[in-house]
Chains A and B, each alone.
Chain A
């Protein structure tokens, strides 16, 4: 029943519905015709349903091994486990574009479902913008990357999946990351709607913020998952390579982080309005360009997608319409938006401005570093590489002050503040930071790691202090503090937790700079010493797998004679794809990772030697744990009543109150 043709039809239907959704509500809003405007939610829900059917058809084709579908034949095989048959649907270009469209459809449906308290015209325009963008990408999917194309005669078995992608972490990485990317379409749509209406006010800030925070949570988790994947799959012991694909996800995260902060200023003080609108446009534009430029093959990356310049031209045209169109509208309408009031530099809003300046500077640096090589190559026919040294040298000096200001920013009052009383309240954080500096200077080498350790402790303690000060912990009976804590808005806790998450990540990064590693070429039975552990290579065996043969090593790790763990790093050669992968073995106790990699086999068969790579990575899990804590903070602040767009209004209409009286 769920045939590929039905899926193809549903996709075409979704495209038509999206086009209608992009045009009709705009006309309705322009003519103030309520009936036409009320079409928007229905169209958005319909489009989402059609896309869901289409996606279900593709999954069904993959699960039932329908190799007459070209996409399935090229990426799946009978022997593939069921989980990867499902997740493999979005592991390739065509499927991932369909997933992208589906998530955009869900965003539109979510605005339709949860946006009931928005003014009708604003909601109609927001849904229309989402529909217009969706129509473009569904057209792209239909014309240049059709996931339902048939192949005849159908092959007996598929070609199988890239073994690197056969991994649970990577299976769930794309949906989460895409939800983050695409989620920023909603703030974007709000920005465009505001530009069309020519009005940005505090209410707009309040409406747009939950959507931005939700997308930000997903993007944070997505980036962390991607980094974790490259840590344990690529087997280089690294977690971030400043690769264009990684930068493509970091850039919107930076502007998105700036957006969720500047939207607070719009909401509370009606300031930074034009800037916030621009950030909303920029964040989604960067999300779009990032995901799609990577596929066009312009950016040189280790994460290769099948590149097709013809596809690239279509994408570029689409980007020109979406990004160019929105920026043109911005250039046309933004000058007539009323600018917000001036405010004192030392105040909460002043701190938020500083946050925005620093985040956007980091973003500008990353954009420059990523785009410089292709442009140099285009303009001067010279190739250069911009690597880790450039990014480290430029981003860290901008990030450190950001971390310092993060500590006391949330404690500054609005409008006009005094720095000194706030700093006084942070005496405990200051003392602990000083101790952290001392400890780090003793145990850690290098100036930057020491500074990073210090600021990480500063952020964490300052975030905790923010809460303890607000609930007057130990300055009044505990019951009173508890009462105050319950009265605090959840967004305050959300902020503190998210900031503490940043601190945890920074601490992990700083500790990782102290990671130790060793590469040795040894025969079986040798013991190596690294970071106070004794690593003994016990044996290396051949082990057959379902579609590969593996060479598995057994490494015993002992600390002062006591057995810590037995590791089994392996190297798999896949017969069908002529590819080898290394399976890293990681033992973690949350404070440090022991990380073992089995390399090539050298020497003669009679006396073989094996290359082993051993890493000791202190606090490595904290980098990703911190990101999770940030996302939890975001979710907590989303659960704040003020942030819930769909929250029922508790206040009764005046007429009703009058009637009761």
Chain B
């Protein structure tokens, strides 16, 4: 018996350690179960995370300048009298790059404001130099804080801001000519004739 004593605390420690994977899996499992039951009741939807921001005022934020544009803040959006499009982009994001020509074609019909998300200012500036700059004003969200406030799930994401700074529409995929023609333009027409 005396030979087993020194081993005993060691064995207990081993038991605890070997239980760690089970505990970890259990925590994950409970989380998944909560998510699934939330999805069934409609209280949790990972695909439509931004539903709550629709038809609500834009969140509070202030963005520093991103060359070659001037930064903007909540007040600037609330002071709007016409609808504009706010687009989150990043130089590291390939779909954003693919989206740029569509934005360039759109910029004459609808004002575009850009937010460089989690991007070094110099990289974002170079990106806009290469692909063209469709944005009237440009803010730099270097650490992604403002992206969190807006509830974006990735880049590119686009928000249609109505007069008074109300979020009217949102797209979590790169904008395409079809989307603009079928969804965005009818919506704009509705916003302009209240």
Cα–Cα distance between A13 and B100 once the two chains are bound (Å): 55
The A interface is mostly helix, strand or loop, or mixed, namely helix
A282 in the interface, Cβ–Cβ < 8 Å?
yes
Q: How far is the CA of A602 from the CA of B107 in the complex (A)?
A: 13
B21 within 8 A of A: yes
Which residue of chain B is the closest to A578 with respect to CB atoms?
Answer: B178
A327 to B22, CA, bound (A): 5
Does A328 contact B18, Cβ atoms closer than 8 Å? no
> Which of the candidate stretches A37-45, A58-66, A312-320, A646-654 sits at the interface with the other chain?
A312-320
Chain B residues with Cβ below 8 Å from A236 are 94-95, 97-98
The answer to whether B94 touches A238 (Cβ under 8 A) is yes
Which chain B residue has the least Cβ–Cβ distance from A600? Answer: B177
What CA separation (Å) do A570 and B92 show in the bound complex? 25
Chain A residues with CB under 8 Å of B102's CB are 600
On whether A324 and B29 interact (CB within 8 A), knowing A309-B39, A382-B148, A384-B148, the answer reads: yes
**Nearest-neighbor residue (CB-CB) of A382 within chain B:** B148
- Please tell me if B57 contacts chain A, counting CB pairs below 8 Å: no
- Whether B44 sits at the interface, judged by CB under 8 Å, is yes
- With A and B bound together, what is the CA distance between A238 and B98 in angstroms? 11
Interface size on A, residues (CB 8 A): 55
Does the CB pair A377–B22 fall under 8 Å? no
Our pick among B19, B29, B33, B40 for the contact of A310 (Cβ within 8 Å) is B40
B34, B39, B151 — most chain A CB neighbours (10 Å): B39
- Do residues B46 and A274 form an inter-chain contact, with CB atoms below 8 A? no
Bound Cα distance from A299 to B32, whole angstroms: 10
User: B35 an interface residue at 8 Å Cβ cutoff?
Assistant: yes
Contact B50 A378 (CB under 8 A): no
B147's contact among A324, A330, A385, by CB below 8 Å, is which?
A: A385
Q: Is A298 an interface residue (CB 8 A)?
A: yes
Residues of A within 8 A of B98 (CB): 235-236, 519, 599, 613
Given A236-B95, A383-B49, does the pair A519, B131 have CB atoms closer than 8 Å?
yes
Stretch in A27-35, A205-213, A367-375, A457-465 with 4+ CB within 8 Å of B: A367-375
In the assembled complex, the Cα of A297 lies from the Cα of B32 at a distance in Å of 11
Which residue in B22, B92, B105 is a CB contact (below 8 Å) of A324? Answer: B22
CB distance from A658 to the nearest CB of B (A): 43
| Among listed B60-68, B152-160, B163-171, B184-192, interface-contacting one | B152-160
A235, B15: Cα distance in complex, Å? 51
Contacting pair A600 B101 (CB below 8 A): yes
Partner of B32, one of A285, A316, A385: A316
Q: Which A residue sits closest to B154, measured CB to CB? A: A385
Cβ of A278 within 8 Å of any chain B Cβ, yes or no, is yes
Cβ-neighbour of A334 out of B18, B28, B153 (below 8 A): B18
Contact B33 A316 (CB under 8 A): yes
Interface of chain A residues 142 through 172 with chain B (CB within 8 A) = none
Q: For residue A398, which residues in chain B have a CB less than 8 angstroms away from its CB?
A: none
Contact mask B77-98 → A, CB, 8 Å, 1/0?
Answer: 0000000000000101111011
> Would you call A300 and B47 a contact (CB within 8 A)?
yes
- B1 near A: Cβ within 8 Å? no
Q: Is the C-beta of B110 less than 8 angstroms from some C-beta in chain A?
A: no
Are A278 and B21 neighbours in the complex by a CB distance under 8 Å?
yes
Interface residues of A in 510-543 (CB under 8 A from B): 517-519, 521
Q: Are B36 and A313 in contact (CB under 8 A)?
A: yes
Contact with B along A323-343 (1 / 0, CB 8 A): 110011011001100000000
B31: interface (CB < 8 Å): yes
Q: Contact string, B36-56, partner A, CB cutoff 8 A, digits 1/0?
A: 111110001011011000000
Cβ of A382: which chain B residues have Cβ within 8 Å of it? Answer: 148, 151
Q: Within the assembled complex, what's the spacing in Å between the Cα atoms of A600 and B38?
A: 40
Q: A282-B21, A309-B40 are in contact. Are A297 and B33 (CB under 8 A)?
A: no
Complex formed: what's the CA distance from A371 to B25 in Å? 13
* A201 CB to nearest B CB, Å: 19
Q: Which bracket fits the contact residues of B?
A: 35 or more
Q: Are A330 and B155 within 8 A (Cβ)?
A: no
The residue of chain A having its C-beta at the shortest distance from the C-beta of B118 within the complex is A389
Select which of B15, B31, B92 is within 8 A of A375 by beta carbon.
B31
A415 close to chain B: CB less than 8 A? no
Q: Are A387 and B155 in contact (CB under 8 A)?
A: yes
* A338 to B: closest C-beta gap in Å: 11
Residues of B with C-beta under 8 A to A235: 98
Judge if B73 is at the interface, Cβ distance under 8 Å: no
Residues of A within 8 A of B177 (CB): 600
**Residues of chain A lying within 8 A (CB to CB) of residue B49:** 300, 377, 383
Residue of B nearest to A304 (CB): B47
Task: List CB contacts (< 8 Å) of B96-150 with chain A.
Answer: 97-98, 100-102, 104-105, 118, 130-131, 144, 147-148
Contacts of A298 in B (CB 8 A): 32, 35-36, 39, 46
Distance (whole angstroms) from the CB of A394 to the closest CB of chain B: 14
Residues of B contacting A241 in the complex (Cβ-Cβ under 8 angstroms) = 94
Closest B residue, CB atoms, query A235: B98
CA A656 – CA B36 in complex, angstroms?
63
Q: How far does the alpha carbon of A613 sit from the alpha carbon of B22 in the complex, in Å? A: 49
What CA separation (Å) do A580 and B118 show in the bound complex? 31
> Which residue of A307, A309, A611 is within 8 Å of B101 (Cβ)?
A611
Pick from A331, A373, A378: contact of B31, CB under 8 Å: A378
The interface residues of chain A lying within 8 Å CB-to-CB of B31 are 374-375, 378
10 contacts between A and B (CB under 8 A): A320-B29, A324-B25, A327-B21, A331-B19, A331-B22, A378-B44, A382-B151, A388-B92, A521-B101, A521-B105
Chain A interfacial positions (CB closer than 8 Å to B): 235-238, 241, 274, 278, 281-282, 285, 293, 296-300, 307, 309-310, 312-313, 316, 319-320, 323-324, 327-328, 330-331, 334-335, 371, 373-375, 377-378, 382-385, 387-389, 517-519, 521, 580, 599-600, 602, 611, 613
Beyond the given pairs A297-B39, A316-B29, A324-B25, 20 more chain A to chain B contacts, judged by CB atoms under 8 angstroms and listed by A's residue number, are A236-B94, A278-B21, A285-B25, A296-B32, A300-B153, A309-B40, A324-B29, A327-B21, A330-B22, A331-B15, A334-B14, A373-B153, A374-B35, A378-B38, A382-B151, A385-B144, A385-B147, A385-B153, A385-B155, A521-B104
Interface residue ranges, B against A (CB under 8 Å):
11, 14-15, 18-19, 21-22, 25-26, 28-29, 31-40, 44, 46-47, 49-50, 90, 92-95, 97-98, 100-102, 104-105, 118, 130-131, 144, 147-148, 151-155, 176-178
* In the complex, the 7 A-B pairs of residues with the closest C-beta atoms, listed nearest first: A327-B22, A611-B101, A236-B94, A331-B19, A383-B49, A335-B14, A334-B18
